[in-house]
Chain A
Amino acid sequence: AQRVTQPEKLLSVFKGAPVELKCNYSYSGSPELFWYVQYSRQRLQLLLRHISRESIKGFTADLNKGETSFHLKKPFAQEEDSAMYYCALSPRFSGGYNKLIFGAGTRLAVHP
């Protein structure tokens, strides 16, 4: 079964501390993985995708196929990073529909 697990509902850190939001997936093929973010009173938006291998707003995420993980990391958290973060999986070659399977989400709270 295709599944995305985000084990932490809430992650609370102080400004300047490192952040790691965990994401594990279950999928037999070769998935595409994404992180979406929802800031307070804003719409859900794409943060980054594994295929791009880019850093967005200081965040990076590496796909570890051995551990089936796609953890989101940032070395120094900022208060403006406070938001809801969702990890999502899209099965490769899913018929052109690019369906997404979302995790339950992790709320990141960065305190001053």
Chain B
Amino acid sequence: DVKVTQSSRYLVKRTGEKVFLECVQDMDHENMFWYRQDPGLGLRLIYFSYDVKMKEKGDIPEGYSVSREKKERFSLILESASTNQTSMYLCASSSLAGGSSYEQYFGPGTRLTVT
């Protein structure tokens, strides 16, 4: 079974703090993704990575950065947290597509509250 784990289920941070969200997958997947999930908006892609040290912006990268130093680990960084970044953050991983889309496996999510 694919396992995608996220470092925290719940996190409360203050405005202006630097926040690190960690994601680890154990299936040697090449692709990893960070989404935020908001009611009425669905899932929106923040960043994704298709290889170690490689990253691509998603649809809403502003205010976020990412790091992928090892294949199994993908970190999302909020440089200076703001209240509008209060959300559920989901990490996902998948195999390299090669012309067809493979299933994305999701972590349990981190509910971040910025006060």
Contact = CB atoms under 8 A, between A and B. Distances in A.
B102 interface: yes
Chain A interface secondary structure, helix, strand, loop or mixed?
loop
A69 interface: no
Which of under 10, 10 to 19, 20 to 34, or 35 or more describes the interface residues of A? Answer: 20 to 34
A102 B97 contact: no
22 contacts: A6-B42, A9-B40, A32-B101, A34-B101, A43-B4, A43-B106, A43-B108, A44-B43, A92-B99, A93-B99, A94-B101, A96-B31, A96-B50, A96-B99, A98-B94, A99-B33, A99-B48, A102-B42, A102-B43, A102-B44, A104-B40, A104-B42
A71 B33 CA distance: 26
Contacts of A17: none
Interface of A: 4, 6, 9, 32, 34, 43-46, 49, 51, 86, 90, 92-94, 96-105
